[in-house]
Amino acid sequence: FESGQFEACVDEAIQTGLALLRERSDGEIPTDFLLELEVVRTIVLASFIPAHETVAETLTVDSEFDIMAWVAGNYADRLSDFRLDEPQAFALKIRGIDAYKELWERDEPVNEKYQRAFAVITSANRRRAISSVSPATAKAPLYGASYGFRQDSQVEKPDLTAADGK
């Protein structure tokens, strides 16, 4: 994360998966699948929240698929089933931005920032959440047991949370 290799790791995982798919499908990969994969790649890359540098709270992404409907269906159907005639925007938003702002402002080595982020911020909040661009549109349901942040007393490594209770 801290060396900027996240995109390369994502791309390597994609290429490995595509190689396996080619082996199992006589070298054929459906065009629809490649389009779906590109959208998912965009979401994965844009969802990453670095612990060591300030980023925007919300990113807007255009897609030729109805991402909000796909999420509302708990990703059960193929993304291609949600193809649109015109591209539609959706948002990727950091939930709990204040915790990230405190983290970004800390004067400590990058490695310690990532350790602190993994100790204090729950897994549901370590990535941007897919949401609607329009406030009038219902938000995608949030999945997972926790939408918040761990309290200092819940953190197993107290040395990571000892600085003025932040």
Q: Which residue has the tokens 């959208």?
A: 39
Please write the tens of the pLDDT for every residue from 48-85.
999 888 999 999 999 999 999 999 999 999 999 999 99
Asked whether the beta carbons of 141 and 99 are under 8 A apart, the reply is no
CA distance 81 to 150: 38
Residue with tokens 């269906």: 73
- Condensed to tens digits (0 to 9), the pLDDT of residues 99-119 reads 899 999 999 998 898 888 888
Model pLDDT for residues 145-157, shown as the tens digit of each residue: 334 444 444 434 4
